[in-house]
Amino acid sequence: MRHSDHVSLIRKGVPSYGGIWADLGSGEGAFTLALAELLGPGGVIYSVDKNGRALEQQRAAFARRFPAAEVHYHKADFRQHLSFLPRLDGLLMANSLHFIERKEQLLKQLMGYLGENGRFLLVEYSSDHGNRWVPYPLAYSSWQSLAGRVGFSRTVLLDTYPGRFLGGFYAALSS
């Protein structure tokens, strides 16, 4: 996927410039960069990943592409309490939730970081059957059901992207 594909996939889930967002399991930052483009100069991003090397690569990519972006890099496991996070306008998990087998408890914890009108933006593989690299993906219909069980009142499919593996990707917004 190219940067423009990442932006296109999540564009409908980021309603306006600015705001405080977190990208959990951000890796080298492909979707973090897309989020920065959509939030513009008024946005604040908390980029969280347990891989320090990936965060350094992300920091270098931001220095080249969005040097004025306000990004706070945190080497941390998003399954743990993230005391450094402020109240968030949005939370992005792009290709990171599929590493969690039992998702409900974690999602309830993550909802606690969202402000009153907070948005949860998920990018995931379109499959309920994983492999050793993507162990626990969830198709959109499964996400819709899970999101309702953990307390989100509304979930919508934003966009899809074809792929050779696991049915491609989708982006969904829950609030």
Residue 55: is its pLDDT beyond 90? Answer: yes
User: 3-class DSSP state for residue 73?
Assistant: strand
Residues 5-18 have a mean pLDDT of 92
pLDDT (0 to 100) of residue 14: 95
Residues 8-14 have a mean pLDDT of 95
Burial letters for 17-39: b for 16+ Cβ neighbours within 10 Å, e otherwise? eebbbbbbbbbbbbbbbbbbbbb
When pLDDT is cut at 50, 70 and 90, the band that residue 167 belongs to is: confident
The set of residues, in sequence order, having a beta carbon less than 8 Å from that of 149 and lying 6+ positions away, is: 104
pLDDT (0 to 100) of residue 129: 86
Mean pLDDT of the chain: 94
Residue 161: is its pLDDT beyond 80? Answer: yes
Measure the CA–CA gap between 152 and 147, rounded to whole angstroms: 5
When pLDDT is cut at 50, 70 and 90, the band that residue 126 belongs to is: confident
Superfamily of domain 3-174: Vaccinia Virus protein VP39 (3.40.50.150)
Each domain of the chain, given as residue ranges in start order, spans 3-174
Residue 166: is its pLDDT beyond 80? Answer: no
The token pair at 32 is 């973090």
Burial of 72 (0-12, 13-18, 19+ CB in 10 A): middle
Measure the CA–CA gap between 139 and 92, rounded to whole angstroms: 17
pTM: 0.94
Residue 155: is its pLDDT beyond 90? Answer: yes
The set of residues, in sequence order, having a beta carbon less than 8 Å from that of 172 and lying 6+ positions away, is: 121, 122, 124, 140, 143, 144, 147, 155, 156, 157, 158
pLDDT (0 to 100) of residue 127: 85
pLDDT (0 to 100) of residue 98: 93
Residues 100-109 have a mean pLDDT of 94
When pLDDT is cut at 50, 70 and 90, the band that residue 76 belongs to is: very high
When pLDDT is cut at 50, 70 and 90, the band that residue 165 belongs to is: confident
